[in-house]
Amino acid sequence: MRGAKSAKWVAGAAIIALAATACGGGDSDDSSNASKEKGKPAGYVSLDVGEPQKPLIPADTNESLGSYVIQAVFTQLLEFDGDGKIVYTNAESVKSDDNKTWTVKLKPGWKFHDGTPVTAESYIKAWNWYANIKNNQQNAFWFEDIKGYADVHPEKGDPKTTEMSGLKAVDDNTFTIELDKPVPYFEYKLGYYTFAPLPEVFYKDTKAFGQAPVGNGPYIFEKWDHKKLIQVKANPDYQGPNKAKNKGILFKNYATVEAAYQDLLSGNLDMIRQIGPKDLPKYKTDLGDRTIDEPYAAVQSIVPTFYSKTFKGIDPKVLQGLSMGIDRDTITKTVLNGTREPATSFTPPGVAGNQSLDTDVFKFDPAKAKQLIKEGGGVPDNKLWIQYNADGGHKEWVTAVCESIRNSTGVDCIPDAKPDFQTDLEARDNDQVKSMYRGGWVADYPLNVNFMRELYGTTAEANNGRFSDKEVDAEFKKGDNAATLEDSIKAYQEAEKLVLQKMPAIPLWNYKINGGYGKNVDNVAIDFRGDYVMTDVTVK
């Protein structure tokens, strides 16, 4: 991480909502030092986080709003430090001699919030449930490397069994993971929150659990007032290294980022994740040294839906032409007030394997854009739409991108606003996007693999554009079958060059967090994924 505000702990997220993926220490309960924020208990901190798309189950959450809460309540085997290196949390060790069979040893004595022990079986049973096709979990795809996944998650029909053969308990604190084939980066994947364990109470009433989860993380769930707030308190018995230094968190829902910013200025909110375009020109003056202005590992793209009338069977030349019709430099400097860096690849800085593709496809060139679109057969009806969530501060830049495409290529481009992120995601999940959608992706783990396989692989859950290409899948497999982690990263760099030819998305710019915090909190920092390190925040 960069600068004095570098964060130690990461909190993952996949799909980004915004424009930009313990024993309560902290201060005493002395009300003289407490925030005057209405409804907030003393020692708690508050953050703007909207309504999660799904119930709070680790394997059914792959967007940034729900992930903030999931990672407060649950802890998986490992995390990453500010440099992207592995740090063990619930695991004592994760080892493999051949990248195919991995042995996990748990730290003894860990407990769920209901007092029951976290054991090897807590992980095995949870992962089997997550992967089972009948349970319809968004992140089931993450378990496909494990031997026996196809038996619990067949392409068609019912599962043959409820247990993956590759998972075996050795004792209460040890289990083994056998994969179908060696995967040199598999340990990194275990840092994603979807690999969190579950307590036995989950299986008694999964629906109720999703509304009031019982985890093993640094915070204990307290309440969920839908579309208003989610409240968690510090776990007094938490044994992980990322123990909460505050007494709890209020995740507060706002209709717009502008409304959240006004509450920040008035002292009714402690932290804001992203300033909207309207307030970007003045927020540094408003907040002074309480601004957060740092890059992180995420890319903003616009993603074609290959099932749509607009892009079904489209020639990639058309998409390359549309990309060259976008004046990234001007939009990032003006509309986004210099808070983004134009993309030069499909991966962001901050992940291993990031590279500049050294291509004209990401450079503004109206003449070449028109030529490529014509050579590729054009856009059907000469019209496209870009879907976005209106509550995330995207209207201004989506409008600017559409104007750039329209003026430089002659293709009519129409912003398609959905009222909130939840509605936006539901349209993506149900294949209801007219042409394109605003795609933001933040690193789940710090490797280029995460920006390739998890987005553009045919079976990837986050592949909401429904891109499918046998050549690309074959290139990804080369990376998965590489002998070492370094070889895998290099193989995925080569795969990215093929992705550029196929254009499953149009990268726009790399993210920066442009947020800030109020006068009542301190020790505010972000991790390399752009998430606030909530456990470190203290109350003044």
Q: Residue holding tokens 């592949």?
A: 463
Could you tell me the pTM of the whole model?
Answer: 0.81
pLDDT given at position 81: 80
Question: Is the confidence at residue 20, as pLDDT, over 60?
Answer: no
- Residue 160 confidence class, pLDDT cut points 50, 70, 90: very high
Q: What are the strands of the beta sheet with 101-106, ordered from one edge?
A: 91-95, 101-106, 174-178, 167-171
Question: Is the confidence at residue 426, as pLDDT, over 70?
Answer: yes
pLDDT given at position 164: 98
Output 366 or 6, whichever has higher pLDDT: 366
Q: For 332-343, how does the pLDDT look when each residue is reduced to its tens digit (9 = 90+)?
A: 999 998 888 999
Question: Is the confidence at residue 461, as pLDDT, over 90?
Answer: no
pLDDT given at position 17: 54
For the residues 271-288, what does the mean pLDDT come to? 92
Q: Nearest-CA neighbor of 231 among 245, 243, 213?
A: 213
Report in angstroms the alpha-carbon separations of 428 from 111, 451, 473.
37, 18, 22
Q: Nearest-CA neighbor of 58 among 174, 144, 137?
A: 137
Helices (H), 219-365: 257-266, 283-287, 316-324, 328-333
pLDDT given at position 323: 98
pLDDT given at position 221: 98
pLDDT given at position 65: 84
Q: For 498-516, how does the pLDDT look when each residue is reduced to its tens digit (9 = 90+)?
A: 999 999 999 999 988 889 9
pLDDT > 70 fraction of the chain, expressed in percent and rounded: 93
pLDDT given at position 12: 34
Output 412 or 462, whichever has higher pLDDT: 412
pLDDT given at position 24: 28
**CB atoms < 10 A from the CB of 338, how many?**
12
Distance CA 341, CA 328 (A): 9
Helices (H), 313-384: 316-324, 328-333, 366-375
For residue 436, give the H/E element and its range. Answer: strand 436-442
Question: Is the confidence at residue 465, as pLDDT, over 70?
Answer: yes
Question: Is the confidence at residue 26, as pLDDT, over 50?
Answer: no
**CB atoms < 10 A from the CB of 490, how many?**
16
Q: Residue 167 is encoded by which pair of tokens? A: 């998972």
Question: Is the confidence at residue 13, as pLDDT, over 60?
Answer: no
Q: For 200-249, how does the pLDDT look when each residue is reduced to its tens digit (9 = 90+)?
A: 999 999 999 999 999 999 999 999 999 999 999 999 999 999 999 999 99
For the residues 504-530, what does the mean pLDDT come to? 92
- Residue 15 confidence class, pLDDT cut points 50, 70, 90: low
Question: Is the confidence at residue 19, as pLDDT, over 80?
Answer: no
Mean of all residue pLDDT scores within the chain:
90
Cα radius of gyration (the chain) = 23
Output 82 or 332, whichever has higher pLDDT: 332
Please tell me whether residue 249 adopts helix, strand or coil conformation. strand
Question: Is the confidence at residue 18, as pLDDT, over 90?
Answer: no
Question: Is the confidence at residue 29, as pLDDT, over 70?
Answer: no
For the residues 452-462, what does the mean pLDDT come to? 91
Question: Is the confidence at residue 154, as pLDDT, over 90?
Answer: yes
Q: Residue 147 is encoded by which pair of tokens? A: 């031997």
- Residue 300 confidence class, pLDDT cut points 50, 70, 90: very high
For the residues 274-285, what does the mean pLDDT come to? 90
pLDDT given at position 37: 82
